[in-house]
Structure 1
Amino acid sequence: MVLIASLPVMLWLLAHGRGWLLAASLAVWAVPQVWQINIPNYPTEGAWFFDPLSWQLIFALGLLLGHRLMVEGKGVPYSAPVFWIAVLYLIACGAYAFFNMWGTIPDIHLPASLVGNEKTYVALPRLAHILALAYVVGHSGVMGWLGRRLTAGNPLVVIGRNALPVFWVGALLSVIGLQVRYIHFGMDDILPFPETPKVFWLDTLLVAGGALVHYLVALYMDWTGPKAKRRPAEAPAAITPVPDATPGAAE
């Protein structure tokens, strides 16, 4: 909601040029990297897990790309060196996570929020990972393959078309699912949240049930949305020719 509330300001900057929006977004992102500025929780202690001052950069980059696609009809241009560097970076990140190499990066005397593995502040390695993944997927055959198969009635497209209400329902379902797991394992709400064991049948039920609820919500929004309420205009009644009343017309 905070990011959506910032959209008018972003659009105003975008109206003055893409460079204005990009520069402002980078500047706002850099502030919490250095001073770890975040929004405090209430009434509990701590701060937001996803700092909006940092995550707005990803939102702004998506807005910039969407604007470029709408205005110029083209996205980020392809570059073979950039593509393969992005692929290598993704492989390195995958190996780093798979082999549990956390904490092995040497200290370079910079804030951890900038060069560490910080998800809260979208640290530089995480930002590079997001951009590399988007670039590789966008310039691979995946997008064309999806475009040929994801028709307007595809469940994923229906859900994406109603992303905001589906997101709200998903947030509620995540809380319900957590409580279901707590009840199943006889746990309480002691903080920090305990790690609950994996139970295949329960996890499958929660995930499949949640996906079904998401789809049903999206179908309902399609059914009751503004487009569903529109009715085609009635065809005009046939016009009966008026006899010519001028003198001599009947002759």
Structure 2
Amino acid sequence: MKIKMLSALIALIALCGCSRMPTNPIKGNAVIDWVDFIKLNGNSYYASWEMVIQNPNLVTHEVVGEVKFKVADVVTNPGYITKDGDAAFLEIGTKLYRVEGYEVNEMIAAKDETRIGGYRLFLEDGFAPKVRRSYKDVPKDKVEKIELYQLEETTPYKTLAGGDKERFIQLLDSGKDTPNYTPQNRERDPTYYHMVFYTGEPIANAFTIADDGTNVFFSPWDTRIVDPQIRMLLQP
């Protein structure tokens, strides 16, 4: 009887031990919607879609890190803890560079030919709130020029300066805020453009503006409908 009880106890301990065995840290059953991040030197960096390098030469040749592991489409365990060298979407082996005028623990860059300026900029999480990223914060009196781009293009189709630049800004600023606006043309998607504001600083600010055939609108914070006269300036 004692032997049977001892055997049962050993079996129970074995089962409990198995239940505490570590699970696969990568594989799980979750579909994870990753943000575009990099982990480097204990810091988390996130891609900024509102920032464009004013001069690609400001990205130095100094390599400050390299992507070791791409988590997207691989990690499905929601409990996965990111580590140095992890990136959401950058390929393994991608070099990370220092940007002139910024500390490595503030901003880094990765080559990306699909981005205006040829680089994707990443802001360290704690530094990001200190950087101007909203249209309302752009110093309009310091804007030197505005470049306009077709969606997914990296070469501007038009550059606004002088009176055209001033008129463009005036039309943007005088638009009507319409927070719940939805595109009016149900038959086709709106036409999207990128507008990049250069103020002479190392980093330019990029925003999206759209034309749905009925209205032209953008989102300085909430959606704003702009006077249709702006189409004259948006046209190639």
Q: TM-score range by the shorter chain?
A: under 0.3
Structure with the larger strand share: 2
**Larger RCO, structure (CA 8 Å, separation 6 or more):** 2
* Greater helix content: 1
